[in-house]
C-alpha cells in the first residue's frame, strides 16, 4: 500500500491530508449526532410535565439547557414562559437557528472535501502526464519505464481522489439528512411545549378601579 501511495508522487499529499481531516470529521459527527444525545427519550414529556405542574426553577432549566440540543431548545421556551405565545415562539425560533448551526458543524468542510477530492486527483493526474511527457522529451520513447512512472502517478492520484471524495459525499448527505430529521422532531417537541405553556397560563383576573370601571390584569404565576 505504501508503495502505491508513493507512486502517486507529490499530488498525493493534499489528498492524504483531506482524507485525514474527513475521517476525523466523520468520527466526530457520528458520535455527536447520536439520536440519544440529540433527542433523549422521554425528555419532551418530562419537560411538559414540569410545565404543567409548575415545578420549574433556575436549576431545573439550567440542567435542561446543558442536557442536549433538544434540552437547549426547550429551556429557551421556559426562560420566557411568562410572556405571550408569540414571544415564546420567537425565542424558540431564534434558539433553534443556533441549535441547527451546532448540529451542522463541520458538514460544510466535509462537503468541501467531497468536492475537491476529484479535483486534487485530476491535478495529480496532470502532474503525472507532465512528468511522462518530459521523460519522452529527454530520452524519447525508447525507455518505457519512464513513461510507465508518469502514467502510474497519474492513475494513482485519480483513484485516490475518488476514494476520498465518494465516501465523503455519501456521508455528507447522510449527516445532512439526519440533521433534517432531528430538526423536525425538535420542532414537534417545541410546539407541544408551547401548547402546554399556553394552556397552563392562567386567565386574566378582573379588578375594579376606584371609579368603578373594571380592569383585567393578568394573574401572577408563582415561580
In a domain, 215, yes or no: no
Residue at grid coordinates 481531516: 21
Q: How far is CA 182 from the centre of its chain?
A: 10
For the chain, the domain total comes to 1
**Whole-number pLDDT of residue 71:** 93
Global pTM? 0.78
Residues of the domain holding 137 = 2-201
Give residue 147's pLDDT band: very low, low, confident or very high (50, 70, 90). Answer: low
Average pLDDT of span 185-198: 91
In a domain, 223, yes or no: no
In a domain, 63, yes or no: yes
In a domain, 221, yes or no: no
In a domain, 182, yes or no: yes
How many degrees, rounded to 5, is the angle at CA 46 between CA 40 and CA 48? Answer: 120
| Rounded distance between C-alpha atoms, residue 164 and residue 50, angstroms | 48
In a domain, 211, yes or no: no
In a domain, 207, yes or no: no
| Rounded percentage of the chain residues whose pLDDT exceeds 70 | 78
Q: What is the mean pLDDT of the chain?
A: 82
In a domain, 179, yes or no: yes
Average pLDDT of span 60-68: 89
| Rounded distance between C-alpha atoms, residue 56 and residue 72, angstroms | 15
Amino acid at each position: 500500500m505504501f508503495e502505491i501511495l508513493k507512486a502517486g508522487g507529490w499530488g498525493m499529499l493534499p489528498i492524504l491530508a483531506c482524507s485525514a481531516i474527513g475521517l476525523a470529521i466523520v468520527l466526530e459527527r457520528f458520535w455527536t449526532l447520536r439520536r440519544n444525545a440529540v433527542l433523549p427519550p422521554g425528555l419532551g414529556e418530562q419537560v411538559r410535565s414540569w410545565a404543567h405542574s409548575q415545578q420549574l426553577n433556575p436549576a431545573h432549566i439550567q440542567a435542561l439547557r446543558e442536557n442536549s440540543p433538544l434540552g437547549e431548545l426547550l429551556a429557551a421556551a421556559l426562560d420566557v414562559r411568562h410572556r405571550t405565545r408569540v414571544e415564546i415562539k420567537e425565542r424558540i425560533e431564534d434558539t433553534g437557528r443556533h441549535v441547527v448551526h451546532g448540529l451542522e458543524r463541520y458538514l460544510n468542510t466535509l462537503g468541501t472535501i467531497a468536492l475537491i477530492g476529484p479535483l486534487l486527483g485530476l491535478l495529480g493526474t496532470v502532474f503525472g502526464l507532465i512528468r511522462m511527457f518530459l521523460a519522452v522529451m529527454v530520452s524519447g520513447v525508447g525507455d518505457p519505464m519512464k513513461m510507465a512512472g508518469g502514467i502510474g502517478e497519474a492513475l494513482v492520484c485519480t483513484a485516490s481522489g475518488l476514494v476520498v471524495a465518494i465516501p465523503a459525499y455519501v456521508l455528507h448527505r447522510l449527516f445532512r439528512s439526519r440533521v433534517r430529521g432531528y430538526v423536525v422532531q425538535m420542532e414537534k417537541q417545541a410546539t407541544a411545549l408551547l401548547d402546554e405553556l399556553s394552556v397552563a397560563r392562567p386567565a386574566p383576573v378582573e379588578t375594579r378601579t376606584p371609579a368603578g370601571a373594571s380592569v383585567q390584569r393578568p394573574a401572577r404565576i408563582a415561580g
